[in-house]
């Protein structure tokens, strides 16, 4: 999933970026309101972590503009303010959650995970696909009861496929949500990570879960998809 951190304190922004990236998310940063607005207009972020006290354009004004324009990214507001009125204002103009500084990184990460599930209309933190279980809270995967160890990027790709289970996602959709502004785009990077994921998720199992739809993209097998004879591999 792709997250935008909007924070004018650059040392805090770096710490947040590192912590969120270690969870397997792609992270962009903005240090003032104008930069944040420019990035949000060009990218469909899953979650925006937004400080309210920003140079150039403040967080409340940004929120009003984004919601007025129909932007649906989930927004977690950060602020040093701790009054009930400030919290109400943030929520009333479109924030999905609220966290007061100082805060623990683990709490912020838990709130980000919850907002990612909300963005994709998923209530149960455990996503299931046939004999595979993906725990979005613990960020663990099992298939047939056996733990499968994934890198953060592999996990992020599998989670994205799971949120869209039974539906095709294009390579451009995967790139948009899993790679940040500093990643170098190559023509086959998505295919390469699909191959890595298949080797861990499907190898040794009769029923492949990760399917290729030629000319369209990839999908995680839905309940109604045919068995192995209909599956296609890109290898």
Answer yes or no: do 167 and 103 share one domain: no
Same domain, yes or no, for 110 and 132? no
Residues 9, 110, single domain; the answer is: yes
Among residues 101, 119, 137, the one where a domain terminates is 119
The answer to whether residue 93 is domain-embedded is yes
The one-character DSSP state at 23 is T
Q: Same structural domain for residues 64 and 141?
A: no
Mark which of 90, 119, 148 sits at the end of a domain: 119
Confidence at residue 201, expressed as pLDDT on a 0 to 100 scale = 96
176-182 own/partner pairs: CB under 8 Å, 24+ apart: 176/2, 176/43, 176/44, 177/1, 177/2, 177/26, 177/44, 177/46, 178/1, 178/2, 178/26, 178/153, 179/2, 179/26, 180/2, 180/26, 180/27, 180/28, 181/28, 181/39
pLDDT at 233 over 50: no
pLDDT at 229 over 70: no
Are 159 and 87 contained in the same domain? Answer: no
E strands in the chain:
2-6, 26-30, 47-51, 74-79, 97-100, 126-129, 132-135, 140-143, 146-148, 210-213, 217-220
How far out from the chain centre does Cα 228 lie?
29
Hey, what are 201's tokens?
């998720």
Q: Residue 231: its pLDDT value, please?
A: 44
For the chain, give the mean pLDDT: 89
Of residues 220 and 229, which shows the higher confidence score? Answer: 220
Q: Would residue 139 count as lying in a domain?
A: yes
Same domain, yes or no, for 14 and 114? yes
52 domain residue, yes or no = yes
Answer with the one of 66, 90, 119 that is the final residue of a domain.
Answer: 119
Q: Which residues pair with 75 in a beta bridge?
A: 48
Phi, psi at 230, each rounded to 5°: -100, -10
Q: Identify the burial level of 144 via C-beta atoms within 10 angstroms of its C-beta, where 0-12 means exposed, 13-18 middle and 19 or more buried.
A: exposed
CATH code of the domain containing 150: 1.10.10.10
Work out the angle at residue 72's Cα, subtended by the Cα atoms of residues 68 and 73, and round it to the nearest 5 degrees: 120
The highest-confidence range among 46-50, 99-103, 173-177, by mean pLDDT, is 46-50
Q: Record the pTM.
A: 0.82
Q: Are residues 113 and 132 in the same domain?
A: no
Segment 87-124, tens digit of pLDDT? 788 889 999 999 988 899 999 999 999 999 898 888 88
pLDDT tens-place string over residues 125-142: 999 999 999 999 889 999
Most confident of 36-50, 69-83, 214-228: 36-50
- Does 186 lie in the same domain as 102? no
Q: Which residue range forms the structural domain that includes residue 6?
A: 2-119
Let me know whether 88 and 150 are in one domain: no
Bond before 102 cis per omega within 30 degrees: yes
Name the band, by pLDDT with cuts 50, 70 and 90, for residue 186.
low
Instruction: For Cα atoms 170, 175, 177, give the angle at the middle one, nearest 5 degrees.
Output: 100
**Rounded average pLDDT over 68-90:** 86
Q: Which residues pair with 99 in a beta bridge?
A: 78
Q: Does 235 map to a domain?
A: no
Whether 47 is in a domain gets the answer yes
Kindly state whether residues 114 and 149 are assigned to the same domain: no
Q: Is 161 domain-assigned?
A: yes
My answer on whether 89 and 150 are in the same domain is: no
DSSP strand pairing (210-213 vs 47-51): unpaired
Say yes or no: 99 and 173 in one domain: no
Does a structural domain hold residue 74? yes
pLDDT at position 235: 42
Domain count within the chain: 2
């Amino acid at each position: 999933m792709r997250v935008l951190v909007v924070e004018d304190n650059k040392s805090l922004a770096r710490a947040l970026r590192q912590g969120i990236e270690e969870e397997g998310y792609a992270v962009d940063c903005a240090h003032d309101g104008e930069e944040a607005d420019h990035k949000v207009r060009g990218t469909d972020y899953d979650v925006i972590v937004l400080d309210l006290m920003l140079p150039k354009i403040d967080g409340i004004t940004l929120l009003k503009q984004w919601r007025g324009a129909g932007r649906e990214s989930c927004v977690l507001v950060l602020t040093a303010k701790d009054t009930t009125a400030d919290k109400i204002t943030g929520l009333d103009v479109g924030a999905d959650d609220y966290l007061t500084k100082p805060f623990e990184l683990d709490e912020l990460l838990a709130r980000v995970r919850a907002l990612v599930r909300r963005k994709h209309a998923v209530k149960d933190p455990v996503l299931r696909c046939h004999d595979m279980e993906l725990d979005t809270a613990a960020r663990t995967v099992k298939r047939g009861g056996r733990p499968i160890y994934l890198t953060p990027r592999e996990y992020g790709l599998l989670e994205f496929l799971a949120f869209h289970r039974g539906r095709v996602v294009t390579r451009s959709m995967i790139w948009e949500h899993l790679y940040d502004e500093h990643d170098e785009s190559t023509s086959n990077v998505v295919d390469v990570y699909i191959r890595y994921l298949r080797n861990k998720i499907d190898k040794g199992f009769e029923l492949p879960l990760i399917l290729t739809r030629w000319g369209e993209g990839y999908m995680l097998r839905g309940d109604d998809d045919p068995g192995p004879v209909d599956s296609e591999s890109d290898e």
